[in-house]
Chains A and B, each alone.
Chain A
């Protein structure tokens, strides 16, 4: 996940929580928005972290392979 997607998702999540908090005073659907916003922010942060870890792992793997190639020569 890119940084721009991370920011977009977090802005949407924050808006949902904020709007939900305001609506919750008049209708229980507001609580649903708060839950949805919280879930979205958690999901976004988790997928961003997993994506970053995968990218780091693949970079390390590439470096290991290239170092291995050099030692063979």
Chain B
């Protein structure tokens, strides 16, 4: 029996925490691994973009942005009307599930490479594009009970609940008045590093290969270390999930499947290769645990952020890494023959 190395390290992290083993993983090392993965993904995407830049990318990017806007609208009613979550909690969790996880994307890339499935290397561009729309939709969905914010983004108190459809004009005004939120949206570490390295890769093109031994050759080794830490973090979230109950477990498994199926359909609609379709399915299935939590803390301070992180990191991330990616691959192969 052969297991995937990345999944092996992830499981090792889970088992270590469950067995009570004390593995000291420096926080700065985790940060460094995350930065490394973002830069490596961005560089790869930039080089591919330089080779395959075309107008078709523009229409594909619009599809991806619309996809990012759609996902929270699917998650929100499930959480609010079936799960009976408060509006702000449902909006916050929905925003997490509308955005993407770079870690899951990195695992999917390693999986495709191990299976020798070709994919469009410019997909990191879509990873960046999918980071933001969900945050905007999250704010829109939470609006009736969102505390009012001052010009510098500080929360000044709770507004009276207003039962009416969210006003786009008010939303734009609110977004533009909150510097802190805009900063989190456009200048969080994920966006800056991935867009930055994407541009560097695009401009440097073949010259990027001079740093390939560090960023491309060591990718799988760094990913294994990153997953060891993620396994430990996911296992440490298990007690929070137990407290949240079985509904959040069902939701955190159902939402990746819905996003994965929709992503698979979208990828085929965009005319991508098999590997490309699988990656879009993985992006649709993944939930953010870095960029969105930071933004939601600013814009929805009253939401239960621990619950969102526990669901995305404690259930959805392990689900996607262990079961989801192979399942989306099999489904895509069915549909694409």
Contact = CB atoms under 8 A, between A and B. Distances in A.
Given A2-B84, A8-B82, A23-B330, A32 B323 contact: yes
A5 B250 CA distance: 9
Contacts of A47: 245-246
Nearest to A10: B250
B57 interface: no
Interface string B314-337: 000001001100110111010000
Given A13-B250, A16-B253, A29-B323, 10 more contacts: A9-B247, A9-B250, A15-B257, A23-B327, A23-B331, A29-B322, A29-B327, A32-B322, A47-B245, A47-B246
B249 interface: yes
Given A23-B330, A26-B330, A12 B250 contact: yes
17 contacts: A4-B82, A5-B82, A8-B251, A8-B254, A9-B246, A12-B254, A15-B254, A23-B330, A26-B330, A27-B330, A29-B322, A29-B323, A33-B327, A36-B319, A40-B249, A43-B246, A44-B250
Contacts of A23: 326-327, 330-331
Contacts of B247: 1, 5, 8-9
Nearest to B261: A19
Interface residues of B, number: 23
A47 B247 CA distance: 10
Interface SS majority for chain B: helix
B250 A8 contact: yes
Interface in B152-177: none
B246 A1 contact: yes
Contacts of B250: 8-9, 12-13, 40, 44
Interface residues of A, number: 24
Interface in A22-60: 23, 26-30, 32-33, 36, 40, 43-44, 47
A11 B253 CA distance: 12
Interface of B: 78, 81-84, 245-247, 249-251, 253-254, 257, 319, 322-323, 326-327, 329-331, 333
Nearest to A29: B326
Contacts of B329: 27
Given A8-B78, A8-B82, A40-B246, A27 B326 contact: yes
A10 to B, nearest CB: 9
Contacts of B251: 8, 12
A23 to B, nearest CB: 5
A2 B82 CA distance: 9
A30 B246 CA distance: 21
Contacts of A40: 246, 249-250, 253
Nearest to B319: A36
A24 to B, nearest CB: 9
A-B pairs, 3 with minimum CB distance? A29-B326, A9-B250, A12-B250
Contacts of B81: 4
B245 A1 contact: yes
A12 B330 contact: no
A4 B246 CA distance: 13
Contacts of A44: 246, 250
A4 B79 CA distance: 12
Contacts of B78: 8
